[in-house]
């Protein structure tokens, strides 16, 4: 039995905080479409009989009907492939969702909040879908397989062995429960990092986000292609096929020896990046001048750079300056007292450090 498994596509995500680059959200949304089309083309060319989508196919808050129509049109191009969708916390099966209101192709099965079973000649496919943006219990503990001698697959959006309070809000399921039930393959989603090696029996697989969605999702992203041998249910073979066109990477740049804005711009322009990278530059070290990251972004000539993060510290010896009998010294002494306050937060510390920089420049 062969299948393709994806999750966490997040169609029509706004990407508003990901980049200062104008139009970047449109670029990423077009990439999502291209990558999803690659999935469909692979299924078509390889005659894959099953396609599992384990939640967060789209963003309920932002999804457009035109995007749903695009997805459904692609589904119509693989009429012989049975498609199973398990709604997740970003695309729950709610009354005003497209899962509930839209007429999907006949080859599409969408699970709801009642665990159900689709009986097929070579396998039984079980599924569950979120009916809200949170799920604390899918009531799977008492499930018994109808045909344990067959291939049994669960399609679900979940957190396996979720331990903390946040994880338990997103359908936390203990691995021991799945072991007791006896599934051969658990096609799950929610975790954006691909993982098909942690769990062996049953084979529990997170394909990760199909397209990298941000700088916390470095590395390759794509789809899982799998096969289960009918004569040996313990033999489940899976591989991840990369599809994402561009990877997110972070690069550090120490500014300690950089004396002014023009020098910094030149240093950034001299950095070497691959054409298939989205780059976040993290400025580190001690700065000798005020840094305006938004202004920098507009002046550099590196198209791959979509974000600049300033993590530098001001390059002042406050102790030394505070001993001066000058207005600058008095100012430094007052700021030191604030910085040495044990109860200030990290955010307040950053504000004070920025105030010191601006104050010193005004007192020059």
Residue-wise pLDDT tens digits, 273-318: 988 899 999 999 998 888 999 899 889 999 899 999 999 987 878 8
Beta-carbon contacts of 94 under 8 Å, excluding residues fewer than 6 positions away, are: 60, 100, 131, 132
Phi, psi of 179 (to 5 degrees): -65, -45
Pairing of strands 313-314, 286-287: parallel
Q: What is d(CA 5, CA 38) in angstroms, rounded to the nearest whole number? A: 13
| Average confidence score pLDDT of the chain | 93
pLDDT at position 17: 80
Q: How far is CA 255 from CA 150, 197, 263, 283, 284, in A?
A: 62, 41, 10, 7, 6
Domain boundaries, the chain: 2-242, 247-363
**Distance between CA atoms of 86 and 55, rounded to whole angstroms?**
5
Averaged pLDDT, 197-225: 93
pLDDT number for residue 233: 67
**pLDDT tens-digit series, residues 145-196:** 999 999 999 999 999 999 888 889 999 999 999 999 999 999 999 999 999 9
Q: Which fold has domain 2-242?
A: Purple Acid Phosphatase; chain A, domain 2 (3.60.21)
Residue closest to 226 by CA, chosen among 44, 14, 46: 46
Tens of pLDDT, residues 79-103 = 999 999 999 999 999 999 999 999 9
**pLDDT at residue 158, as a whole number:** 97
The pair of structure tokens assigned to 302 is 């590196």
Contacts of 328 (CB under 8 A, 6+ apart): 321, 360, 363
pLDDT of the residue at 16? 83
Confidence tier at 347 by pLDDT (50, 70, 90):
confident
Q: Which residues pair with 238 in a beta bridge?
A: 226
When mean pLDDT is compared across 35-49, 111-125, 293-307, 345-359, the lowest value belongs to 345-359
Specify the higher pLDDT residue, 17 or 179.
179
Give the Å distances, CA to CA, from 95 to 9, 101, 251. 21, 8, 44
Q: Assess whether the previous peptide bond of 118 is cis (omega < 30° from 0).
A: no
Which helix (H) or strand (E) is 308 found in, with range?
strand 305-310
Rounded mean pLDDT, 26-35 = 95
C-alpha distances out from residue 307 to 24, 77, 117, 219, 227, Å: 11, 38, 46, 18, 40
- Cβ burial of 46 (10 Å; 0-12, 13-18, 19+) is exposed
Percent share of the chain, pLDDT over 90 = 75
Average pLDDT estimate for 42-49? 98
Residue bearing the bigger pLDDT, 270 or 342: 270
Question: In this prediction, what percent of the chain has a pLDDT beyond 70?
Answer: 99
φ and ψ at residue 325, rounded to 5 degrees: -90, 60
CA dist., res. 260 & res. 255, Å (int): 9
**For residue 245, is pLDDT > 90?**
no
The whole-number pLDDT of residue 359 equals 86
Q: How far apart are CA 133 and CA 180, in angstroms?
A: 28
Q: What does the chain come to in residues?
A: 364
């Amino acid at each position: 039995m062969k299948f393709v498994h994806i999750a966490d596509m997040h169609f029509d995500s706004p990407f508003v905080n990901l980049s200062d680059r104008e139009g970047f959200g449109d670029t990423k949304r077009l990439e999502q479409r291209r990558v999803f089309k690659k999935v469909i083309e692979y299924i078509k060319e390889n005659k894959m009989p099953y396609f599992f989508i384990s939640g967060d196919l789209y963003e309920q808050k932002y999804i457009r009907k035109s995007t749903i129509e695009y997805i459904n049109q692609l589904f119509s191009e693989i009429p012989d492939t049975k498609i199973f969708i398990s709604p997740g916390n970003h695309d729950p099966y709610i009354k005003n969702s497209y899962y509930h209101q839209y007429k999907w192709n006949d080859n599409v099965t969408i699970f709801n909040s009642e665990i159900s079973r689709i009986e097929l000649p070579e396998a039984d496919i079980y599924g569950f879908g979120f009916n809200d943006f949170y799920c604390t219990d899918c009531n799977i503990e008492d499930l018994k397989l109808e045909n344990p001698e067959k291939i049994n697959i669960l399609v679900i959006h979940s957190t396996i062995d979720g331990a903390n309070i946040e994880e338990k809000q997103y359908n936390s399921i203990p691995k021991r429960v799945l072991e007791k039930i006896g599934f051969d393959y658990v096609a799950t989603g929610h975790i954006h990092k691909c993982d098909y090696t942690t769990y062996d029996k049953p084979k529990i697989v997170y394909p990760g986000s199909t397209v990298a969605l941000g700088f916390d999702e470095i590395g390759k992203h794509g789809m899982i292609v799998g096969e289960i041998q009918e004569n040996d249910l313990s033999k489940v073979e899976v591989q991840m096929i990369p599809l994402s066109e561009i990877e997110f990477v972070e690069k550090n740049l120490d500014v300690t020896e950089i004396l002014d804005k023009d020098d910094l711009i030149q240093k950034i322009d001299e950095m070497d990046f691959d054409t298939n990278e989205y780059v976040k530059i993290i400025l580190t070290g001690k700065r000798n001048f005020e840094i305006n990251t938004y202004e920098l972004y507009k002046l550099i000539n590196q198209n791959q750079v979509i974000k600049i993060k300033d993590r530098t510290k001001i390059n002042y010896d406050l102790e030394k300056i505070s001993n001066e009998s000058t207005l600058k010294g008095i100012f430094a002494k007052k700021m030191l007292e604030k910085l040495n306050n044990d109860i200030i937060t990290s955010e307040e510390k950053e504000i004070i450090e920025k105030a010191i920089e601006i104050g010193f420049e005004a007192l020059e």
